[in-house]
């Protein structure tokens, strides 16, 4: 890499911090290195260890994607003990610039740069170049972001879209809402479209069928539903796909996401063929008078293992 154009990118989760160098002239990224957050008292300690292992490269700019709010100088992780000042961290490491972005800002920034090997299309037509993009990702919670282009620059529009009201479409949805309303004052979409949401949907459908809820783990429910070994689990995963379709279709309508609606996160890539065979796309398009509108919007699943790093690199290259 040309040393004078080196940037550092990182993706920080509750367990690991993943780091790479990026050539800011070409976008070429170095070998990925991963470190356990628990092994380092501060994020600076982890970064300094990485820089030592990488041979003390002359980094001048950096972008860190992290799963917590990033709109203030003080960053406090919600799923780990690290807390730090962006300005102080930049000064300590001697960088010209340090950007902290939310994890879904990073994921959204990756989307225009994904190749066909890093995503799978699950319906619709060809994506329109430069058009708005939407992404949501069931995982521990439900991340949501939009992406728009202006003067050849991509701008992420993050928010808290996973906490919008859950709106039932069919009788099964209605039963799930009634079931969860006994537990929560406000039933958001995240209470369904997440790992914990799969468990809650399974419990609600078991209740509807008058059967015992024998599973307590989302991965077990997913597997039993996908392989058909449990009828209630299968109904759960089918309904999970339907609800994703309705929600994704709503995101498509918000900004006219003709650049595509993407599903990210660690859950859905495990059952892409099941998703293709489900009613995901039917529910995505079932928007009454706007059925044809959504029919012209493609849908994808992100299969790239490190979209946060791809997006952090894209974000950093736009700012230098």
In degrees and rounded to multiples of 5, residue 79 shows phi and psi of -120, 20
Q: Where in the chain is the domain with CATH 3.40.367.20?
A: 115-303
Tens-digit pLDDT profile for residues 174-184: 999 999 999 99
pLDDT beneath 70, residues of the chain: 1-4
Residue 13, annotated as binding a ligand? yes
In degrees and rounded to multiples of 5, residue 207 shows phi and psi of -60, -45
Residue labelled with tokens 């009454």:
288
Q: Where in the chain is the domain with CATH 3.30.420.40?
A: 3-108+307-319
Coil, strand, or helix at residue 155? strand
216, two tokens: 């307590």
- As assigned by CATH, the class of the 3-108+307-319 domain is alpha beta
Where does residue 39 rank: exposed (0-12), middle (13-18), buried (19+ CB within 10 A)? exposed
User: What's the confidence (pLDDT) of residue 79?
Assistant: 82
User: What's the confidence (pLDDT) of residue 4?
Assistant: 52
User: What's the confidence (pLDDT) of residue 312?
Assistant: 98
CA–CA distance, 320 with 318 (Å, rounded to integer)? 6
Residue 137, annotated as binding a ligand? no
215, two tokens: 């599973």
User: What's the confidence (pLDDT) of residue 136?
Assistant: 97
319, two tokens: 């700012």
For the chain, the helix, strand and coil percentages under 3-state DSSP, each to the nearest 5: 45, 20, 35
Q: For 197-310, where are the E strands, in sequence order? A: 261-263, 299-302
CATH hierarchy code of domain 115-303: 3.40.367.20
Sign, CA dihedral 196-202-203-205, equals: positive
Give the whole-number percent of the chain exceeding pLDDT 90. 94
Residue 125, annotated as binding a ligand? no
Sign, CA dihedral 191-196-197-201, equals: negative
Tell me, letter by letter, the H, E, C secondary structure of the chain: CCHHHEEEEEEECCCEEEEEEEECCCCCECCCEEEEHHHCCCHHHHHHHHHHHCCCCCCCEEEEEECCCCCCCEEECCCCCCEEEHHHHHHHHCCCEEEEEEHHHHHHHHHHHCCHHHEEECCCCCCCCCCCEEEEEECCCEEEEEEEEECCEEEEEECCHHHCECCCCCHHHHHHHHHHHCCCCCCEHHHCCCHHHHHHHHHHHHHHHCCCCCCCCHHHHHHHHHCCCCHHHHHHHHHHHHHHHHHHHHHHHHHCCCCCEEECCCCHHHHHHHHHHCCHHHHHHCCHHHHHHHHCCCEEEECCCCHHHHHHHHHHHHHC
User: What's the confidence (pLDDT) of residue 3?
Assistant: 46
Residue 15, annotated as binding a ligand? yes
């Amino acid at each position: 890499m040309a040393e004078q154009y080196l940037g550092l990118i990182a993706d920080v989760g509750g367990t690991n911090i993943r780091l790479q160098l990026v050539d800011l002239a070409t976008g070429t990224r170095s070998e990925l290195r991963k470190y356990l957050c628990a092994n380092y008292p501060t994020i600076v300690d982890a970064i300094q260890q990485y820089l030592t292992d990488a041979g003390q490269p002359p980094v001048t700019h950096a972008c860190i994607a992290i799963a917590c709010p990033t709109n203030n100088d003080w960053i406090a992780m919600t799923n780990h003990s690290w807390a730090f000042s962006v300005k102080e961290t930049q000064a300590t490491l001697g960088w010209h610039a340090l950007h902290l972005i939310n994890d879904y800002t990073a994921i959204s920034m990756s989307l225009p740069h994904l190749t066909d090997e890093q995503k799978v299309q699950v319906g619709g037509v060809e994506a329109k170049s430069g058009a708005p993009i939407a992404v949501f990702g069931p995982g521990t919670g439900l991340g949501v972001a939009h992406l728009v282009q202006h003067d050849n620059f991509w701008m992420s529009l993050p928010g808290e879209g996973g906490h919008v009201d859950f709106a039932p479409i069919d009788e099964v949805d209605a039963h799930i809402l009634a079931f969860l309303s006994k537990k929560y004052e406000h039933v958001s979409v995240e209470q369904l479209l997440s790992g914990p949401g799969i468990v809650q949907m399974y419990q609600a459908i078991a209740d509807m069928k008058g059967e015992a809820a024998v599973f307590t783990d989302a991965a077990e429910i997913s597997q039993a539903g996908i392989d058909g070994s449990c009828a209630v689990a299968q109904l759960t995963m089918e309904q999970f796909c339907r609800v994703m379709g309705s929600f994704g279709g709503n995101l498509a309508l918000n900004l006219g996401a003709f650049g595509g609606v993407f599903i990210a996160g660690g859950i859905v890539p495990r059952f892409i063929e099941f998703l293709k065979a489900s009613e995901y796309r039917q529910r995505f398009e079932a928007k009454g008078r706007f059925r044809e509108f959504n029919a012209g919007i493609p849908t994808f699943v992100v299969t790239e293992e490190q979209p946060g790093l791809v997006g952090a690199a894209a974000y950093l290259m736009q700012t230098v």
